[in-house]
Amino acid sequence: MQTQEPLVRKSARRFIEHEDAWIQHRVSWLLASTTFLIGAFAVLMTANIPTGDPRFAPVASLLVCLPLAGLTFSSLVLLGYIPAQLAMCQAKRSAEPGQDTSHDSHRSLPVRSKGPALWLGILSSCGTILATMLIWALLLLVAVITVILTTVPAA
């Protein structure tokens, strides 16, 4: 049993590193796309179009579509994040040494983080995803209010 335990731990660690890298890539792409979309949204919001102008229709549709796209991207990243996190937790549990095995913990890196390190690691990615979802929900609200206020003809 002792000879197989390091193989299980190495395999689990390799799997965890792989999943963690995928989470990192997803969050990085989310932040890059969010930056691009928020820049486009800011340009559209500052466009000088008079109230009730028929040329506002394409801008109005983009004002609503950009936050919807950002919210969709954020939701998809969250949908990929949750199963990856669950799979990593399962791999961590399977790699933990049993009670009856002698484990030389001072010579091998731990597979499972504990305490604040565990929660800060989870929240760093999940918090970023949830924050972008909140930002896009607020920008969608701003876009809808702006479209409503600018499509109403001036009295």
| Tens-digit pLDDT profile for residues 31-54 | 999 999 999 999 988 887 776 777
| Tens-digit pLDDT profile for residues 86-120 | 888 888 888 776 644 444 444 444 555 667 776 77
For the chain, give the DSSP string.
-TTHHHHHHHHHHHHHHHHHHHHHHHHHHHHHHHHHHHHHHHHHHT----TT-TTHHHHHHHHHHHHHHHHHHHHHHHHHHHHHHHHHHHHHHHHSPPTTS---TTTS--SS--HHHHHHHHHHHHHHHHHHHHHHHHHHHHHHHHHHHHHSPP-
pTM: 0.75
